[in-house]
Each structure stands twice: as C-alpha cells, then as structure tokens.
Amino acid sequence: MPPPETMYCSQQINIPPELPDILKQFTKAAIRTQPPDVLQWAATYFSALSQGEPLPGKDRLEMPAATQKTDTGLTPGLLKVLHKQLSAKDTVMKEELLNKWKGLCLPVEQLNTLLDLGNFDAQLDWMQFFALSCSSLGGTIISALKHACEILTEDPEGGAARIPFSTFVTLYTYLTQLDGDIPQDEIDSFLLSLQEHVATQNDMIQVANFYGHKK
C-alpha cells in the first residue's frame, strides 16, 4: 500500500532567496541565446555559473530570427561568447575548445573544418582561431575584420567599434598569410595607409577606417 501523500504548507517550504533571480537570469539568457538543445545548453550554463566562469549566453538576441530556425552554426553572438570564455589565455587546448563549442550546441563538423583550415595542433593560438572563425562569418578578409571589430570592441553597440591597431594588425596579418594570394608589398601598403588614420586616434582603429578597402 503506497504511503499517504505528504501535505505541505507554505511555512514548511524553504525557498532559497537567490533562486528567483538565478532562474530569471537563466531564462533571459536562454531567450537571448536560443540554443537548439536547451537541456545541453542549460547544463553548460549552470556548470559555468557554479564555477564562476563566463556564462554561455549571448548579450542580445541575434536577428533575423527567420534564418536561425534552420541555421545552427556559428554566429557573431556565439563567437563573442566563446571569446569571453577562452580569451583569458593566449593558447587554448583543443579539448577545452571542443567542450565550449559543444556547450553552445554548435556543430562539431564546423569546428573540425576550422581546425583543419588553420592546421591547428592540440594546443592552438586563440586569436588565430578567432580570426579564422571571423572569416567563416564574412566572405572577405575585410568582412571578417569588420566582424572582429564589432565583437572585440568595448564601444557601446552601434558605436565606432574601435579596437587597438596592434590587435587589428595581428588579425589581418594572420588572415592574409592564410589566404596566401595577397603580395607582401600590398599588405604593407594597406597597413601603412591605415596607420595614418589611427595615428591621431590613440592607436585605435574603427570599422569606418578600412571598410571601403577591398581585400
């Protein structure tokens, strides 16, 4: 015979005071991120929360939503999450990147393609992988760098999207070396022309400085 149901009253139920806010923040992050596998993403979210790590949530909902119904690949918002999670170290273990990648419910096939393109070993340079990932978001090197500026900038959304010129040079140099079709004298000339624009701007570069160039 089953035991009788236990009756509780509101005075007997102890609700941790922080629980409502935790659930509220989790719900807001899930809505912004729109993970295709909510359970897998939730496990990643609460694991990061318990360990004090950057959370796997986008800053805002990415549009257009219509394409996201079928597109489950890397987006600028998800790449920004990965950057927050992994950029504290100059080099990242491939296994750690794989875990973060899976935590965002991204297709492993896409990761493997990027790793093959960059010829990365078990330990990889994060900014090189970041640059290569930006190139997967934009069809040209300049489009990739535009994404990089918008992801890396500390300017408010919709602002100038400035980043240090030294960071830009690192990303641009890696992508042009990977491309292999741009002559070195053309690379040097392009960087020199940009340096003239940023010399009076505290060595910061913004999208408007180079977006008209076609590389």
Domain ranges across the chain: 69-210
Q: Which two tokens stand for residue 38?
A: 């909510």
CA dihedral 42, 48, 49, 51 (to 10 degrees): 150
- Find, among 118, 39, 48, 110, the residue nearest to 75 by Cα: 110
Dist. CA 157–CA 59, nearest whole Å: 10
Helix locations, 34-75, DSSP H: 38-50, 65-68
Render the burial of 128-145: b for 16+ CB within 10 Å, e for the rest. bbbbbbbbbbeeebbebb
Of the CA atoms within 13 Å of residue 32, those in its CB half-sphere come to 15
pTM of the shown model: 0.85
Q: What is the pLDDT of residue 215?
A: 45
pLDDT above 90 for 151: yes
User: In this predicted structure, which of 42-51, 160-169, 196-205 has the lowest mean pLDDT?
Assistant: 196-205
Q: Tell me which of 148 and 70 has the higher pLDDT.
A: 148
Q: What is the pLDDT of residues 7-32, one digit of tens each?
A: 566 667 788 899 999 999 999 999 99
Q: What is the pLDDT of residues 171-210, one digit of tens each?
A: 999 999 998 888 999 888 888 888 877 766 778 888 777 6
pLDDT above 90 for 211: no
- Amino acid 188 reads D
pLDDT above 60 for 38: yes
Q: What is the pLDDT of residues 100-142, one digit of tens each?
A: 999 999 999 999 999 999 999 999 999 999 999 999 998 789 8
CA angle, 132 as apex, 174 and 199 as ends, to 5°? 45
Q: Is 162 exposed, middle or buried (0-12, 13-18, 19+ CB in 10 A)?
A: buried
